[in-house]
Structure 1
Amino acid sequence: MGRVRPTYIKRLAKDLVKADPERFTQDFEENKEELKDTEEFESKKLRNRVAGYIVRVKENKPKTPQ
């Protein structure tokens, strides 16, 4: 079993992906670099936890047929 993430991390990650889905990828390192520019994160730990959850959101997002 994995760790349970707090709701504020999930909400923040989902809102960021919803606002700009092309900005984030399924790569943790790239997402971490993208979030460095964001003013919302006061700590590195919070930024990394959100970047990790963004990976999870992007992996579980259903692909849209084109």
Structure 2
Amino acid sequence: MGIKPSYIKTIGTTLLAKQRENFSNSFDANKQQLGSSASIQSKRVRNRVAGYITRKINTKRHA
């Protein structure tokens, strides 16, 4: 789909390092978790971070 901006990767990596147990391999569940754990104002940025986290979790699980 394209290259992720560095701020998406930074936010996602930081949240995964601190709160890995709160995130799952489901995009919708991660979206809800971001709504409660991070103060991201933009819906688009929240969705992109949730997608990045979901992708990271799924690739680590399959590797």
**Which TM-score tier does this pair reach, normalised by the shorter chain?**
0.7 to 0.9
Identity of aligned residues (%): 37
Query: Which consecutive segments of 4 or more residues in structure 1 shift more than 6 A?
Result: none
Structure 1 spans left out of the alignment, 5+ residues:
none
Q: Name the residue aligned to 1:11.
A: 10
User: Using the alignment, how far apart are the partners of 2:60 and 2:8 within structure 1?
Assistant: 17
- Give 1:3-42 correspondences, 5 Å limit: 3-42=2-41
Q: Which has the larger radius of gyration?
A: 1
- Structure 2 length-normalised TM: 0.86
RMSD of equivalent CA atoms: 1.5
Higher share of residues assigned helix: 2
